[in-house]
Structure formats: C-alpha cells, structure tokens
A and B are shown apart, each in its own frame.
Chain A
Amino acid sequence: DAGVIQSPRHEVTEMGQEVTLRCKPISGHNSLFWYRQTMMRGLELLIYFNNNVPIDDSGMPEDRFSAKMPNASFSTLKIQPSEPRDSAVYFCASSVQGANTEAFFGQGTRLTVV
C-alpha cells in the first residue's frame, strides 16, 4: 500500500487566492482526519470524516475553510480566500474507525501564503 497520499507537497500562493489541498487515504480506511501544524499551536484537528460523512468540524478556524469527502478514496481541504496566517503544514491522516486503531499520516502539504 502506498500509504496516505497528499498533494501538493508544497504550495506558495498570494493572499486572497483559493488553495485546494488533496488527500487520498489508505484503501480500506473509513476515517479521515485533517490537521494543521504550526510552531505556535502544535497539531490541531480541523475536521474529520467517518464513512465520508463529516463528524466534527469544530476545529475549522473560520468560514474560509471547507472540506469535502465525495468518496472513500478522496478528500479536499479548501481555503478561500487564503491569508498569510494560514501558512502552516496541513496533514491528512486515515484510520480504520474504532477506538484501538492508530492513524496513519500523509507527508503533509507545506502552505505558504504571501
């Protein structure tokens, strides 16, 4: 298995532009998580899905952020419009739903908004 695949690995964009981050979870995993990591705030859970359904989006910082999971093998995190404070590493992780299973991470997308 290729693991969790995220794209792009790096993104540099200008303030105000739309940014779309993509994630392909591990086949057979039915939970998908989006995290944001910064030096100041650590690893924050933004939103997670079980069986393609958003369960908890309370970590999404504001309405500029949205996430979708149209099918079991693909999810997107969109920021529109982007701001410099959105600069961070965004990780996608997947897991089998259930209390005793760990999450596997993608390599992350390093976003810089200038």
Chain B
Amino acid sequence: RKEVEQDPGPFNVPEGATVAFNCTYSNSASQSFFWYRQDCRKEPKLLMSVYSSGNEDGRFTAQLNRASQYISLLIRDSKLSDSATYLCVVRDSSASKIIFGSGTRLSIRP
C-alpha cells in the first residue's frame, strides 16, 4: 500500500465549477500536511499548508481528518489557470521525511 494515495483523475470540469480532491495517508504519526501544485514540465510548488482546524486561501479550502487519515482540497469558482496536477504531501515528525502522492490531474474547460 502506498503511504499517500490520491485519485489520479483526470478531472475535467467547466470553468466556474467547484471541484474536490481527496487524499489518504497510512502513517498515523504524520504531523504536517500540504497541497502542492505542479504545472506541466515544471517543478512542484506549494499551494497551501493544511491545518488541523481546516484553512482557506481565497478560492481554496483544505481540510484534515486525523481520525480517518484523510485530507481534502476544495477549489471553488474554478479558473482556466487552475488546470494542473495537485499533489497531496505528508511529512512525519521524527525524521522529517516528506512523501508525495501521485497527484490528481485537473483540467478546466472554457
């Protein structure tokens, strides 16, 4: 079983739609959680951190459920520029290992 699992997609949604991605992780000792974004042929970049109480950054909302070991990302009012691959990321506390999910591809159509 992979340490971080994501639905690979692709998700193909119209502009303005709301889309949600989910991610599960296997290590209950994981301490920090992030969502990264990767554009085609580019390096991954941090989109947002995920806090225990949930957090919002503009059109993006991240949620964490430690009991279920589940992380989500919600994108509201999607834009063409949101088309990318979204990577779920988990970091443990002890040795600070950072593990990435395989990513979910999102394509926004006009």
Q: In the complex the two chains form, is A100's CB within 8 Å of B43's CB?
A: no
Q: In the complex the two chains form, is B91's CB within 8 Å of A99's CB?
A: yes
Contact of A99 among B93, B99, B102 (CB under 8 A): B93
Q: In the complex the two chains form, is A33's CB within 8 Å of B98's CB?
A: yes
User: Which A81-95 residues have C-beta < 8 A from chain B?
Assistant: 91, 93, 95
Task: Look across to chain A and name the residue whose beta carbon is closest to the beta carbon of B102.
Answer: A42
Q: Which secondary structure characterizes the binding site on chain A?
A: strand
A31 at the interface (CB under 8 A from B): yes
User: Which B29-53 residues have C-beta < 8 A from chain A?
Assistant: 31-32, 34, 42-46, 49
Q: In the complex the two chains form, is A103's CB within 8 Å of B98's CB?
A: yes
Q: In the complex the two chains form, is B100's CB within 8 Å of A42's CB?
A: yes
Q: Give complex CA distance A33, B103 in Å.
A: 18
Which residues of the other chain, B, contact A48 by a CB distance below 8 angstroms? 96-98
Q: Give complex CA distance A91, B42 in Å.
A: 10
Contact of B45 among A33, A95, A99, A105 (CB under 8 A): A105
B15 at the interface (CB under 8 A from A): no
Q: In the complex the two chains form, is B43's CB within 8 Å of A99's CB?
A: no
CB distance from B73 to the nearest CB of A (A): 15
Which residues of the other chain, B, contact A105 by a CB distance below 8 angstroms? 43-45
CB distance from A35 to the nearest CB of B (A): 7
Which residues of the other chain, A, contact B87 by a CB distance below 8 angstroms? 43
Which residues of the other chain, A, contact B32 by a CB distance below 8 angstroms? 99-101
| B positions within 8 Å CB-CB of A | 31-32, 34, 42-46, 49, 87, 89, 91-93, 95-103
| A positions within 8 Å CB-CB of B | 31, 33, 35, 41-43, 45, 48, 50, 55-56, 91, 93, 95, 97-108
Q: Mind listing 14 A-B residue pairs with CB under 8 Å?
A: A41-B102, A42-B102, A42-B103, A43-B103, A45-B97, A45-B100, A48-B98, A91-B43, A95-B96, A98-B96, A99-B32, A100-B32, A102-B89, A105-B45
